[in-house]
Amino acid sequence: MSSEPSLELPPAQQARSRLTQQRILEAGTALLEEGGTEALTVAAVAARAGVSVGSVYRRFAGKDRLIAALQYDMIDQFRNDIIRRFTPLHTDPTVLVASAVAGLTETFQAHARLMRVFITAGTTDPAVARIGSEASIDAGHVFRRFLEPIVPMIDGPEPELRLDVVYRLVYGACMNRVLHGEQFESERPLTWRQLTDELVDIACPYLLGASAR
């Protein structure tokens, strides 16, 4: 049995510590959304959170660890959001496909500002890119699990491949929209809602041989 003293804090101190950490994460998120990774410094986060610079360093050791913590925090929120949106409400195959596509596009839209920061950062930071890739693959697993009931109905010799292609198609369209906006590749206006509807119209015939509308 170890004779080392316990490092656990009393409940009141634990609660204050969690609150301080949450304030730091919220301050960091706001700074990232406002000015990207260049705007995020330990001093700026401390000032925004109303804590000392030492408090930030004690919890995150520096800017790189703080950015990683903020990315993981965003990923947790994204995953929880997508799971909530993927709660089956209907067993009709075309409705399930439409719900999966809409769940993905709506989650991207809800987290667009912060995702844009990390997508951009990932082009020059391998660590950010790796974490982003892992989260994207995990979201694909959630997407495909939601659509497992339609696998026997998929109109093609490799149903799992078709599900993966639909996920990649929707994911890629969302990533492009988050990064570049509505009219980067075309002058035609296309709202998130319209984009979702068109992606549903592509996905349903490809998977089920039937239109959603």
Assign residue 44 the CATH number of its domain.
1.10.10.60
Residues 82, 56 share a domain = no
Span 40-61, mean pLDDT?
A: 91
What letter would DSSP give residue 185?
Answer: S
pLDDT at 16: 77
- Per-residue pLDDT at 98: 93
Tokens of 197: 């509807």
The pLDDT-based confidence of 4 (bands split at 50, 70, 90) is very low
3, part of any domain? no
174: domain CATH number is 1.10.357
CA 131-133-139 angle, to 5 degrees, is 105
Cβ atoms 61, 82 nearer than 8 A:
no
More confident residue, 6 or 189: 189
Nearest Cα residue to 208 out of 82, 84, 100, 136 = 100
Same-domain check for residues 29 and 105: no
What pLDDT band is residue 18 in, cutting at 50, 70 and 90?
Answer: confident
- Does residue 19 sit in the same domain as residue 38? yes
Confidence check: pLDDT of 70 > 50: yes
Q: Is the pLDDT of residue 7 over 80?
A: no
Residue 57 and residue 71 in one domain: no
- Which residue range(s) make up the domain with 49? 9-61
- Per the domain annotation, does 4 fall within a domain? no
Do 77 and 167 fall within a single domain?
yes
* 157 lies in the same domain as 183: yes
Same domain, 110 and 15: no
31/72 same-domain check: no
Whether 74 and 164 map to the same domain: the answer is yes
In a domain, 100, yes or no: yes
- Same domain, yes or no, for 44 and 132? no
Last residue of one domain, picked from the residues 61, 81, 99? 61
Query: Quick one: 50 and 72 in the same domain?
Result: no
Pair 122, 112: CB distance under 8 Å: no
Q: If pLDDT is split at 50, 70 and 90, which confidence band does 212 have?
A: low
Domain-located, residue 121: yes
Contact 155, 93 (CB under 8 A): no
pTM: 0.82
Question: What is the total count of domains within the chain?
Answer: 2
Mean pLDDT of 14-33: 87
CA nearest to 122, candidates 75, 185, 186, 189: 75
Same domain, 57 and 109: no
CB neighbours of residue 13 within 10 Å: 10
